[in-house]
Amino acid sequence: MSPEDIEHRFAFHAATTQEKRDAHTSVRQACRRLADQINELCPDGREKSTAVTKLEEVMFWANAALARQT
């Protein structure tokens, strides 16, 4: 990994356009809808908790992909 790659991974990447801000919002809303559906359909327990946690990870990585694009 290059120092530039490390810098890019750990730098703050502000959404510089309305299109990017809208894309971030769309990802968050889609993940929220799925989280609500999982919460309604699945019984409480470790599996449900893990599913929601993984969905948070999905949201994080999808938004990172949007933020880090050049």
Distance CA 3, CA 16 (A): 24
Does 46 fall in a domain? yes
Q: What is the rounded average pLDDT of the residues 29-36?
A: 97
Average pLDDT for 44-69: 96
Tell me, yes or no, whether 9 lies in a domain.
no
Compute the Cα dihedral for 26, 27, 31, 32 and give only its sign. negative
State how far the Cα of 42 lies from the Cα of 48, in Å rounded to an integer. Answer: 6
Share the mean pLDDT of the chain.
94
Contacts of 59 by beta carbon, 8 Å cutoff, 6+ apart: 27, 28, 31
Q: The pTM is what? A: 0.85
Range of the domain at 23: 17-68
Confidence of residue 70 (pLDDT cuts 50, 70, 90): low
Dig out the tokens for 36 from the structure. 């609500």
Domain count, the chain: 1
Model confidence at 3: pLDDT above 80: yes
- Residue 37 included in any domain: yes
* Residue 35 domain flag: yes
Tell me if 15 sits within 8 A of 67, measured CB to CB.
yes
